[in-house]
Amino acid sequence: MTKQPVLVLGPLMPYLLAELEKRYAIEKLYEEKDALKFLQENAGRFRAAVTSTFTGITADMIDLLPQVEIISSFGVGTDSLDVAYANTKGIRVANTPDVLNEDTANMALLLLLASTRDLVKNDRFVREGRWAKGENAPLASGIEGKRVGLVGLGRIGSVIAQKLLAFGCDVAYHTRNKKPDAPYTYYENLVELARDSAALIAILPGGDATQGVISREVLKALGPDGTFVNVARGTVVDEVALVELLQSGELGRAGLDVFADEPKVPEALFKLDNVVLQPHMGSATEETRRAMADRVVTNLEGYFAEKP
C-alpha cells in the first residue's frame, strides 16, 4: 500500500520522526532550501501536516496548504497555531493534552521549591568555596502552610494543586470562571489573589487573550516576600515589569520556565540571584515527550481512520 504523504513543518524529536516514517511518506518542509517554491509545486499532495507548539502554523501557511485536512501538533499549547483560521477552512487541529500534566506540574513544584529555598544560589555558594571558608548562606523561605495562588486551574493546574496539598500549602486560584468542583478558594480578582498569596504559579494558555494578565500591579501585590513561578507562556506576564521588580526587590523571587521571546531571555535576569531559569523544559522528559509523540501519531491515525 502506498503511504499517505505527510508534510512536517518544523524539526521534531527523532523518535516521532521515526514513528511517522513507519506509517507515512513524510517530507520535511524545514529542510527545503526554497520552502515557498516547494509548496507551490507540491502542496496539493498533502492532506496532513505535522507541526509543534515551537514551530506553530500561521494563517498564511494554512493558505499555502490547500488540500490539508488535519494539522497534528506536538504540544498542548495552541497559542502558536491559528486554530480559529484552520477551523474556518474546515481543517481539524489536534494537540497532545493530558500526557504532559504530571511532568509540567512537577516543573512548577521544582521551580517553586528551588526559588523559595535558594537552591541554585546555594549550589553556587558551595561550588565557590564560600561554605568551606566559614560563610553562612542566608536563610531561605518555606512554603508549608502558606497560600499558593494558581492562575489557571485546568488539566495541569489541577495536578499542581494536588501536589501543593502534599507540601502542606493552602491552595487558591484565579480563572475567568469559578470551577464548581474545585475545593480551593476562588478569587475573581487576580490582584487580590496575589496580595493574599506567598507564591503565584501561572498555568494558563498563552496568546492574545492572556497577554500580560500577570501585570505589574499583580507582581507588586505579590510583593518582596512573594515568589512568581511561570510554567505557562512568557507572554502571560509583563516581562519588563517582572525584571524591574526582581531587580529592585519589590518582588522577592521567581522561577521561570518560559519567556516572551524564546530562546531569548532578558539578560538582566542572568545577574539576579533571586531567579531560577529553565529553557522551557516543563514537559521535557524522555517519557513524556514519547507519550506526546505517540499522541501526534494516534491523532493522525484516528483522522485517517475516520475516528473522532
Catalytic residue selected from 128, 262, 287, 301: 262
Please enumerate in sequence order all residues whose Cβ is within 8 A of that of 251, keeping only pairs 6 or more positions apart, or say none: 219, 220, 222, 223, 224, 226, 228, 242, 245
Q: Is 204 in the site for ligand NDP (CB under 6 A)?
A: yes
Catalytic residue selected from 253, 280, 289, 295: 280
| Residue given cell 480559529 in the structure block | 84
Active-site residue 262, yes or no? yes
Catalytic residue selected from 147, 174, 233, 289: 233
| Three-class SS state of 252 | coil
Q: Is 212 in the site for ligand NDP (CB under 6 A)?
A: no
CA distances from 39 to 51, 193, 242, 251, 281 (A): 15, 49, 41, 49, 32
User: What are phi and psi for residue 169, nearest 5 degrees?
Assistant: -85, 155
Which of residues 100, 112, 222, 265 is near ligand NDP by CB under 6 A? 100
State which of positions 104-163 bind ligand NDP (CB under 6 A).
104, 151-157
* Closest distance of CB 42 from ligand NDP, Å: 32
Q: Is 95 in the site for ligand NDP (CB under 6 A)?
A: no
Active-site residue 124, yes or no? no
* Closest distance of CB 47 from ligand NDP, Å: 27
Which residues are 171's β-sheet partners? 148
* Closest distance of CB 49 from ligand NDP, Å: 20
Give the N- to C-terminal CA distance of the chain in Å, as an integer: 24
Q: How many angstroms separate the CA atoms of 303 and 298, rounded? A: 8
Active-site residue 174, yes or no? no
CA distances from 304 to 39, 56, 207 (A): 22, 22, 30
CA distances from 85 to 6, 74, 208 (A): 20, 19, 15
Q: Is 226 in the site for ligand NDP (CB under 6 A)?
A: no
Q: Is 243 in the site for ligand NDP (CB under 6 A)?
A: no
156 vs 296, which CB is nearer to ligand NDP? 156
| Binding residues vs ligand NDP (CB under 6 A) | 76-77, 97, 100, 104, 151-157, 174-177, 203-206, 209-210, 213, 231-233, 257-258, 280, 282-283
Catalytic site residues?
233, 262, 280
